[in-house]
Amino acid sequence: MERPELRVLIADDDEDDYLITRDLLSQIGRPRFHTNWAPSYRAALQAIELNQHDIYLFDYRLGEGDGLELLREALARGCKAPIILLTGTDDWETDVEAMKAGAADFLVKGHLDVRLLERSIRYAMERKRAQEELLEYANEIERKNRDLAQAVRVAQEATRLKSQFLANVSHEIRTPMNGVLGMTELLLLDASLTVEQRDYAETAYRSAEALLDIIDSILDLSKIEAGKLQLERVDFTPAEVVQEVLKLISGRARSKGLELNCHIAAEAHGPLRGDPVRLRQVLLNLVSNAIKFTERGHVLVRVSVAEDSCGAIQMLFEVEDTGIGLTAEACGRLFEPFVQADGSITRKYGGTGLGLAICKQLVGMMDGQVSVDSEPGKGSRFWFTARLQRPEGAARAEQAVAEEAS
């Protein structure tokens, strides 16, 4: 296919020089050139404004201004076509300056021949095409990034609204459920119930309790996801929290014939600053799981120091059991909401699969990590870390923040 001719503007205040350049252009076989002449700086500027040329050849000397100024002016006015500067003298400094200003090439008139001019124009046009392609590509990427960012915002907002909705609904269900529990409790205090009536009322009470547990889990998880859950920062003794959890669960362990033990490091007996209620919640879920999924043997809780930095302690809590254990594949996905190792386990042991998801979120809020090592049939070791501040360290840190702010 025949290439269309290229429109060239030659800006030169010397007509003879213009004619020489035009002549050279006419000797280039392909592409063909259609030339226009701008004999002055002003005429060139007017032609550039019209934006009708594919390439510009500016002489360095142009009467009232120079070619370099014209080049800068043209670029400032949004000229996209390549501009080649022609000069009478081979001056290295002007050459560098022209390149820095954005010239496509810098040619010395005395050395100019057809081949050199053709090559310079060809390279300039090719570079321009590549630049346009690159720009189009960059624009495309930018557009995609913007779309992606928008999609992420929409998805985040949808998740937030869903969590907010779940938090509201579970909160609303909690109130009547407490009514059901309270009333059933009163009913159970009635001595005149027949054995059958008592059995019904007890089943209703246990069911209501289980339902309240599920609702509490959903409420917790959705509150965390909606960013509504704040951790407390109070002084407490971690060892006491562990003992409380063990006491609460010891009945269940005893009834299954399991040994329940603990090793607590000395550091956990001193006061530390953090959220005891949430620490208790994480521990309680891990220890309840350990007892739920262990038929014989023991459950051991270990508390030690993972890292001791000046103002804070990273505490390590481990819950080890000799229960059914988990495959490596199951271990990898347990901390997602509603995930349970397998369906038959759910039917046998009950639960919603929210416990570990909540633990993961809470532990994250305590600057810690949670994980599990396990072997099917042998048992599991669930562990998590939590950053607890030393009260005097916390006081110092708060003082430093206050001083920095003032």
Ligand X SMILES: Nc1ncnc2c1ncn2[C@@H]1O[C@H](COP(=O)(O)OP(=O)(O)OP(=O)(O)O)[C@@H](O)[C@H]1O
Residues found near ligand X in the complex (CB under 6 A): 217, 285, 289-290, 293, 321, 323-324, 326, 334, 340-341, 345, 351-356, 380
Nearer residue to Mg ion within complex by CB, 283 or 394: 283
Shortest reach from residue 277's CB to ligand X, in Å: 17
Q: Which is nearer to ligand X, 82 or 337 (CB)?
A: 337
Q: Name which of 13, 77, 81, 75 is nearest 49 in CA terms.
A: 77
3-state secondary structure of 289: helix
Identify which range of 116-124, 279-287, 294-302, 305-313 contacts Mg ion by CB under 5 A. 279-287
Cis peptide before 391 (omega within 30 of 0): no
340 binds Mg ion (CB under 5 A): no
Could you tell me the smallest distance in angstroms from the CB atom of residue 175 to ligand X? 22
Asked whether position 289 contacts Mg ion by CB under 5 A, the answer is yes
| Torsional sign, CA 221, 223, 226, 228 | negative
User: According to the binding rule CB under 5 A, does residue 355 interact with Mg ion?
Assistant: yes
Question: With the CA atoms of 395, 399, 400 and 406 taken in that order, what torsion angle do they form, in degrees rounded to the nearest 10?
Answer: 160
What is the C-alpha to C-alpha distance for residues 180 and 185, in angstroms, rounded to an integer? Answer: 8
Residues 6+ apart with CB under 8 A from 103: 71, 83, 84, 85
Nearest CB to Mg ion, comparing residues 268 and 356: 356
CB of 361 to ligand X, least distance (A): 12
**Of residues 120 and 340, the one with the C-beta less far from ligand X:** 340
Q: In whole angstroms, how far apart are CA 339 and each of 148, 154, 187, 345?
A: 29, 26, 37, 11
Comparing CB distances to Mg ion, the nearer of 219 and 312 is 219
Q: Which does 21 bind (CB under 5 to 8 A by kind): Mg ion, ligand X, none?
A: none
Residue 290 binding target from Mg ion, ligand X, none, CB below 5 to 8 Å by type: ligand X
Alpha-carbon gap, residue 53 to 36, rounded angstroms: 9
- 337 contacts which partner out of ligand X, Mg ion, none, CB within 5 to 8 A by kind? none
- Beta carbons of 138 and 144 less than 8 angstroms apart: no
The footprint of Mg ion (CB under 5 A) covers: 285, 289, 355
